[in-house]
């Protein structure tokens, strides 16, 4: 999926106090990514992930939690979401997790549903009227294409 969205990323980029994030995405900023076969934010142990980052050189990097699917609508937006984004607030040194809404203006990205409306890949902002959440059908088509690419196929 990251390849289809043309995101720069690295698989298992580093070890943070015994926790190895699944990916790091490099867009407008570096985002640490954890994937689990979950369907809700409550299933993730966000305290564990945040604790693993504290006291490392990655302290303050935002965290993207990805589950087993994409989401058609969220509680706060009637647009598809990729997962949950932990936005970091330097004033309090805390993370605020909320859905990460897909954005597609000139390229694919995502933004925090309640905090900073800045696309984490392109850097475009809502104040500039550059946030354009795509339709669920458009996201689903991409999701299904990614699934077809990685699907196990028995030898012929």
Please identify which residue in the block is written with the tokens 């994030």: 21
pLDDT tens for the chain, 156 residues long, are 999 999 999 999 999 988 899 999 999 999 999 999 999 999 999 999 999 998 899 999 999 999 999 998 877 778 999 999 999 988 888 999 999 999 998 899 999 998 888 999 999 887 766 788 999 999 999 999 999 998 888 887
Give the span between the Cα atoms of 59 and 61, in whole angstroms: 6
- What is the reported pLDDT for 128? 65
- What is the reported pLDDT for 155? 82
- What is the reported pLDDT for 87? 94
**pTM of model > 0.75:** yes
């Amino acid at each position: 999926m990251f390849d289809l969205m043309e995101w720069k990323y690295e698989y298992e980029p580093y070890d943070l106090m015994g926790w190895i994030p699944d990916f790091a995405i490099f867009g407008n900023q570096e985002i640490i990514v954890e994937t689990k076969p979950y369907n809700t934010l409550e299933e993730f142990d966000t305290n564990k992930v945040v604790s693993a980052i504290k006291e490392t050189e990655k302290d303050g990097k935002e965290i993207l939690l990805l589950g087993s699917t994409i989401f058609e609508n969220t509680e706060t937006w009637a647009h598809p979401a990729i997962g949950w984004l932990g936005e970091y607030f330097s004033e309090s040194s805390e993370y605020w997790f909320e859905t990460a809404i897909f954005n597609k203006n000139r390229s694919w990205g995502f933004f925090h549903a309640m905090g900073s409306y800045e696309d984490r890949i392109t850097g475009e902002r809502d104040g500039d009227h550059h946030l354009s959440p795509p339709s669920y059908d458009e996201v689903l088509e991409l999701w299904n294409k990614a699934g077809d690419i990685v699907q196990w196929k028995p030898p012929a």
